[in-house]
Amino acid sequence: MFQVKELQVSDLIIDLNNFRTVPQKDEINAINSMISLNPKRFWGLMDSLIETDYLPTENIIILEIVEKDKNKYIVKEGNRRIACLKILLGLVDLNQLNISQNKKDQIKNLPKEWYETNSKVNCSIYPESEIDKVNKIISLAHGKKEVASRDDWESVATARHNRQVNGAIELGLTLLEKYLDEGLNITKNEKILWSGKYSLTILDEALIKIHSKLGYSAAHEMVNDYPKIMNRELVEKILHDIGDGKLTFKNLRSNDFSLKYEINSNSNSNSNSNSNSNSNSNSNSNSNSNSDLILNKEENNQVNSKENNLRSAPENIKVNNHTPKRERTSTSISSTKNVKKLLKQLIITGSERSKILAIRNEMTNLKIENNPFAFCFLLRCLFELSAKVFCNQLQQKKIPNAPQYMKNNEEKKLVDVLRDITDFLTINKSDKLMVKKLHGAMTEISKSDGILSVTSLNQLVHNPLFSIAPNDISIIFSNIFPLLDEMNK
């Protein structure tokens, strides 16, 4: 039986195996992961705690584990609330968190009474023997929409929970996790972001469409073989485009899908696959891109009925092309929404980047159509601060030939610093992939008359007649973003 008891926040342990993201090595990493996955909701919850104190509307769900005559209280439901309280109560090192200086100052100015009121929380404590009951409670706990309420699970968290608790087969999740570990076309920031936010429902449907065309009689065979598959580059291109939002349900179901990714239904199939596939499966693999999938008989006992996840099904049972909730199509490069989308992909970590994070957040909240000047002023700050932190970090690590922003005790021109950083990142243009990635950025930034060049951004400050149109910002920003992204990794 569970017991209700008031516990000190300092005695509670944040769950390092939270379903929202990949397992974390310590509480600092777990908290940073929560912040990165949904900053708005995390800070919204913290602001609520500051303004109204911790209101015990629902108990924190605790799993009590006894180790060597010592009780460990693991938070199973309420991790964001406890994370916020630990930050506010000074139980974690603020310098190791992705937190702005303004928020740090706000925390330091909390009155003594606040600490006394919020140092304890009501908990429903379950013994380790009742873990199944705890998992059932967690399954029913998500669905509110308020900023300070519980944060809805992403499809990745739902799939992890379904696999671990219900023993379900989650092929899309398995492939995604392999890709995060083994992928050749994925950045560090993308790994962090996609480990918690990724359109698994699109990936599940993509597996249905492509596995037979790549020579496999069942989707699980392809997932098991990855990354040692013949069409690795193609599969990783699809995986990356799903994560990047370029491949949506609309694209996936169009007749152009196979053409775009050069998927030939007659290629790459081997004799074993053809001989082991039943006749229905063979005929479907050569039909149009909306054909149904027929799966193997031996997988009969591993079927899961969830509509939004790919499962192994028994022979002669078809997985219908159920139409999930429509997702947004790719954003036009000329739209200001594209700028916000890119900024949100910029994952900024480390205490030395707290101001950069604050500026990024302000830029995300700006309406470029109404505030083009303010956006450009902040963009200029973002590049300069990012360049300085990047150079400082390399110098602290004593990296040879690292770029510097100081010369003869004076700061170098920003465009020169950015050029040095680009040379460093491309290893003096010998890294062809990085050269390709950063070419557009340095071309735009170094133009004397470029819309978002350093010269133009300076002109905004000093020239009373110089102006920039919002649409120009949207078109050019995608070119210069990769350099900004690389400096903050």
Residues 455 and 117: their CA atoms lie apart, in Å, by: 53
- The answer to the question of residue 328 being in a domain is no
The pLDDT of residue 454: 64
Based on the domain organization, do 463 and 349 belong to the same domain? yes
The pLDDT of residue 264: 64
Q: Which residues contact 151 (CB under 8 A, 6 or more apart)?
A: 20, 38, 41, 42, 80, 142
- The answer to the question of residue 297 being in a domain is yes
Based on the domain organization, do 428 and 465 belong to the same domain? yes
The pLDDT of residue 448: 64
The pLDDT of residue 143: 37
The pLDDT of residue 441: 83
Based on the domain organization, do 242 and 357 belong to the same domain? no
Based on the domain organization, do 343 and 313 belong to the same domain? no
- The answer to the question of residue 136 being in a domain is yes
Residues 410 and 223: their CA atoms lie apart, in Å, by: 55
The pLDDT of residue 290: 37
Hey, which bits of 105-189 come out as E strands? 120-127
Based on the domain organization, do 124 and 48 belong to the same domain? yes
DSSP character string of 225-267: HTTS-TTHHHHHHHHHHHHHT-S-HHHHTSTTHHHHTT--TTS
The pLDDT of residue 81: 92
- The answer to the question of residue 158 being in a domain is no
Based on the domain organization, do 259 and 299 belong to the same domain? yes
The pLDDT of residue 224: 92
Quick: pLDDT tens for 224-241: 999 999 889 999 999 999
Three-state DSSP class for residue 196: coil
Based on the domain organization, do 304 and 386 belong to the same domain? no
Q: Give me the residues paired with residue 123 across strands.
A: 5, 60
Q: Are strands 60-67 and 120-127 parallel, antiparallel or unpaired?
A: parallel
The pLDDT of residue 166: 75
Based on the domain organization, do 175 and 310 belong to the same domain? yes
Based on the domain organization, do 17 and 141 belong to the same domain? yes
Residues 294 and 319: their CA atoms lie apart, in Å, by: 7
Structure tokens at 362: 């302000």
The residue from 284, 319, 354 where one domain ends is 319
Q: Which stretches of the chain drop beneath a pLDDT of 50?
A: 143-149, 266-328
The pLDDT of residue 184: 92
* Alpha carbon separation from 23 to 10, 14, 207 (Å, rounded): 21, 12, 25
The pLDDT of residue 377: 86
Q: What is the DSSP letter of 326?
A: P
Based on the domain organization, do 450 and 357 belong to the same domain? yes
Angle at the Cα of 142 from the Cα atoms of 138 and 148, rounded to 5 degrees? 120
**Overall number of domains in the chain:** 3
Based on the domain organization, do 313 and 363 belong to the same domain? no
The pTM (predicted TM-score) of the whole model is 0.40
- The answer to the question of residue 248 being in a domain is yes
278 is in which domain, residue-wise?
A: 166-319
Quick: pLDDT tens for 458-472: 777 777 766 677 777
The pLDDT of residue 387: 93
